[in-house]
Amino acid sequence: MVAWLKSRAETREKEKRSLADQVQELDIQIQKDIDDAALKADKLAAKEAESTIGDAFEQDGLLAAALVRRFPYSTQKQIELTDLKHKKTAEEERRQCGERRKASDACSQVCNAIRSRIHSNGA
């Protein structure tokens, strides 16, 4: 009877360790999946940023910095919001202006990085 209880306890202990190992493996796999998803999201965001910046630049790249235009908020035209159609138009124009401003800021950052690389390579 004692031998049987001891055998049963050992079997349960082995099962417990096996389940703990499986849980640990699943945790590792879940973390890997999370890391992979984050990496894919970062790559997608970088790809979208590159396409936005690429649209703002000409083929030459280095001379494109002079062509970057800024759209400050103070120069946006003010639209009289008299009905829903005008309100939607104004919201769309503000959104587009904000996107152009973001693209312009991103282009400026890239231009500054290019300039600093040129200066550091030339020095």
pLDDT digits (tens, 9 = 90+) for 39-63: 888 888 777 766 655 555 544 444 4
Contact in structure between 68 and 111 (CB atoms under 8 Å): yes
Angle (deg, nearest 10), helices 84-122 and 2-56 = 90
Find the helix or strand (DSSP H, E) in which 44 lies. helix 2-56
Side-chain-side CA neighbours of residue 73 (13 Å): 3
The predicted-structure confidence for 51-102, as pLDDT tens digits, reads as follows: 655 555 544 444 444 444 444 434 444 444 444 555 566 667 777 766 766 6
Q: Pick 15 or 103 by higher pLDDT.
A: 15
Which residue ranges make up each domain of the chain?
Answer: 1-47, 57-123
Q: How far is CA 10 from CA 3, 7, 116, in A?
A: 10, 5, 67
- Chain-centre distance for alpha carbon 14: 45
Q: Please determine, for residue 15, whether its predicted confidence score (pLDDT) is greater than 80.
A: yes
Predicted pLDDT of residue 79: 42
pLDDT at 50: 64
Give the range with max mean pLDDT: 2-11, 33-42, 78-87: 2-11
pLDDT band at 13 (very low <50, low <70, confident <90, very high): very high
Q: Identify which has the larger pLDDT, 43 or 25.
A: 25
The Cα–Cα gap between 79 and 72 comes to: 16
Q: Is the pLDDT of residue 17 over 90?
A: yes
